[in-house]
Amino acid sequence: MLALLALASLLGACAAPKYRPYDPAARTKVMSIGLLTPAVSDTVAVRMEVHPGQSFGVVGMLIAEGDMEGKTGQFTRAAKGKGFVCSKTFLTQLDAGLRGGGYDVKTIEVTRPYHEYAFLEQYPKADGSVDAYLDLYTDVVGYIAAGGGTPYRPTVYLNVRLVRATDHKVLYQDRITYNAFGDGGGAITLTAAKDYEYWNFDALVADPARALEGLQIAMRATGDELARQLR
């Protein structure tokens, strides 16, 4: 049952947080951003949104979940063997995107509950070093296929909240999805690069270096889009 709840949480794009547009008046007052340690799993997901086994009742769903967890574990080990640490790589790409957007960026370490992927409940006290804090968490980072007979593509679901440093007022909140399924639930959606499609898991795990390159492109694309939204 826990595995099924995890699956629902992982791919529940419609369970996105509420959106808040970035007020142009607030935008002009934010020049420096404190990039808080994002909640990003170091597990590189390999999943299907609709696994063929899920059509065979509860037992089939458990078998499907076991299959996807096994592939996720295998690909994550291959990624780590290439020196790829998902959270650190994502932080680097986000930092580059924000700096490219003209912001001064300060990385701020925060402690998050283990394996909890959500916005922080409390933010650091303002010390005058930044104008706002950027709070980020991911629902999924990895390779996702729509179902059997469809390709795996690099996928990122990034949730974003910008809060004013002085009083923690939410200035902006959104969701950016790379390779979204369905209509994205109102999120900003980015199309996955077709140069990094894998029609089966064997092809994906056989070329981890190239697959990870595709995932880095997805991360950078979400970071660049976030920077555009904050301009």
pLDDT digit string, tens, across residues 82-100? 998 888 888 888 888 888 8
State residue 16's pLDDT score: 45
Instruction: Give the β-pairing of 188-190 and 132-147.
Output: unpaired
State the DSSP code for 55: G
Q: What is the pLDDT of residue 104?
A: 93
Residues in contact with 192: Cβ distance below 8 Å, sequence separation at least 6, in sequence order: 153, 154, 155, 178, 179, 218
Of 48-57, 130-139, 167-176, 200-209, give the lowest mean pLDDT range: 48-57
CA quadruple 168, 174, 176, 181: dihedral, nearest 10:
140
Predicted pLDDT of residue 51? 74
Radius of gyration of the chain (CA): 18
Q: What is the pLDDT of residue 183?
A: 61
Q: Of the candidates 47, 37, 158, 50, which has an alpha carbon nearest to the alpha carbon of residue 88? A: 37
Tell me the pLDDT tens digit for each residue of 141-162: 999 998 888 999 999 999 999 9
